[in-house]
A and B are shown apart, each in its own frame.
Chain A
Amino acid sequence: MKNIWLLFSVTILTITATTYNGCSEFKAGTSETNQTSVAANAALVSWDKITDSRLDGYIVSYRSESGAVNEIDVRNVTADSNGRVSVIIENLASAKMYYFKVAAYDNMGVESDYSTEVSKYVP
Chain B
Amino acid sequence: MKIIILFSLVMASANLQAATYYVATTGTDNASCGTSVSPCKTVNYTLSNKVAASDTIRIKPGTYFESVTAGNTTKNLNIIITGDDPQNRPHFHGSWRVAHRVTGVTIKDVRIEGDINRGGIGPEWAGIITINAPRTTIDNVEVWDGIGLIGITTSKQVVIRNSYLHHAGLTEPCGGIDQHGISVTNWNEDPAATNWDEALIFENNKIHNVEGDGIQELGQVASLDDGGTEVTTKYVIIRNNEIYNACEQGLDFKGTQYVKIYGNNIYNNGYGGVSTNDEDGNVEYKHLHWWVFNNKIHGHDNFALFSQEGDDGNWFVWNNQFYNNCKNPTYDGCAAVSQPPPNSIVTNNVFYNNNSQNNNKYASAIESQRSNVLIKNNIFYNNGLGSKGKGNIHSSTNAVISNNYVYPASPGITGSNAITANDPKFVNAAALDFRLQSASPAKGVGVVIAGSADFTINLDFVGSARPSSNWDLGIYSGSGTTQPPLRLSAPKNLRVQ
Contacts and interface: CB of A to CB of B under 8 A. Distances in A.
Interface string A24-45: 0000000010000010000111
B62 to A, nearest CB: 10
Interface residues of A, number: 40
B239 to A, nearest CB: 16
A112 B494 CA distance: 14
A1 interface: no
Contact of A114 (B88, B485, B490): B490
B88 A66 contact: yes
Contact of A45 (B89, B462, B485, B494): B494
A52 B494 CA distance: 18
B494 A119 contact: no
A43 to B, nearest CB: 5
11 contacts: A45-B495, A46-B496, A47-B492, A48-B492, A50-B489, A54-B488, A66-B89, A66-B111, A104-B489, A114-B490, A115-B490
A114 B206 CA distance: 13
Contacts of B109: 68
A103 B490 contact: yes
Contact of B488 (A44, A106, A117): A106
A67 B491 contact: no
Contacts of B488: 50, 52, 54-55, 104-106, 110-112
Contacts of B61: 66
Contacts of A72: none
B87 interface: yes
Contacts of A44: 496-497
B493 interface: yes
Question: What interface size band does chain B fall in?
Answer: 20 to 34
B140 interface: yes
Interface of B: 61, 86-89, 91, 109, 111, 140, 462, 485, 487-497
Closest A-B pairs by Cβ, 10 of them: A112-B488, A113-B490, A47-B491, A68-B86, A115-B494, A115-B491, A104-B488, A67-B87, A102-B491, A47-B494
Contacts of A43: 496-497
A80 B330 CA distance: 50
B260 to A, nearest CB: 21
Centre residue among B86, B91, B495 by max chain A CB count within 10 A: B495
Given A32-B497, A38-B497, A43-B496, A67 B489 contact: no
Given A50-B488, A104-B490, A32 B88 contact: no
A32 B111 contact: no
Nearest to A56: B488
A47 B491 CA distance: 6
Nearest to B140: A68
A82 to B, nearest CB: 11
A64 B88 contact: yes
Contacts of B462: 110
B489 A112 contact: yes
A72 B61 CA distance: 24
A106 B489 CA distance: 10
A33 to B, nearest CB: 12
A85 B497 CA distance: 13
Contacts of B91: 66
B294 to A, nearest CB: 14
A120 to B, nearest CB: 5
A47 B495 contact: yes
B494 A116 contact: yes
B314 to A, nearest CB: 32
A32 B491 contact: no
Contacts of A66: 61, 88-89, 91, 111
Contacts of B87: 14, 64, 67-68, 70
Contact of B495 (A93, A103, A114, A118): A118
Nearest to A119: B496
B52 to A, nearest CB: 28
Interface string A83-119: 0010000000100000011111110101111111111
B89 A118 contact: no
A112 B140 CA distance: 22
Given A54-B488, A66-B61, A68-B109, A102 B89 contact: no
